[in-house]
Chain A
Amino acid sequence: GENVEQHPSTLSVQEGDSAVIKCTYSDSASNYFPWYKQELGKRPQLIIDIRSNVGEKKDQRIAVTLNKTAKHFSLHITETQPEDSAVYFCAASTPNDYKLSFGAGTTVTVRA
Chain B
Amino acid sequence: NAGVTQTPKFQVLKTGQSMTLQCAQDMNHEYMSWYRQDPGMGLRLIHYSVGAGITDQGEVPNGYNVSRSTTEDFPLRLLSAAPSQTSVYFCASSYSSGGEKLFFGSGTQLSVL
Contacts and interface: CB of A to CB of B under 8 A. Distances in A.
Contacts of A43: 90, 104-107
B99 A99 contact: yes
Interface residues of B, number: 25
Interface in A74-108: 89, 91, 93, 95-105
A29 interface: no
A93 B99 contact: yes
A98 B104 contact: no
B77 interface: no
A93 B35 CA distance: 15
Given A43-B90, A100-B45, A49 B101 contact: yes
A98 B42 contact: no
Given A98-B48, A99-B45, A32 B90 contact: no
Given A46-B102, A93-B100, A102 B40 contact: no
Contact of A98 (B35, B56, B90): B56
Contacts, number: 63
A45 interface: yes
Q: Is the interface of B mostly helix, strand, loop or mixed?
A: loop
Contacts of A44: 43, 90, 102, 104
A105 B37 CA distance: 11
Given A93-B100, A104-B41, A98 B105 contact: no
Nearest to B50: A98
- Which of B31, B35, B56, B98 has the most A CB atoms < 10 Å from its CB? B98
A32 B98 contact: yes
Nearest to B59: A1
Closest 10 CB pairs of A and B: A102-B42, A43-B104, A102-B43, A104-B42, A100-B99, A44-B104, A105-B42, A43-B106, A103-B42, A98-B99
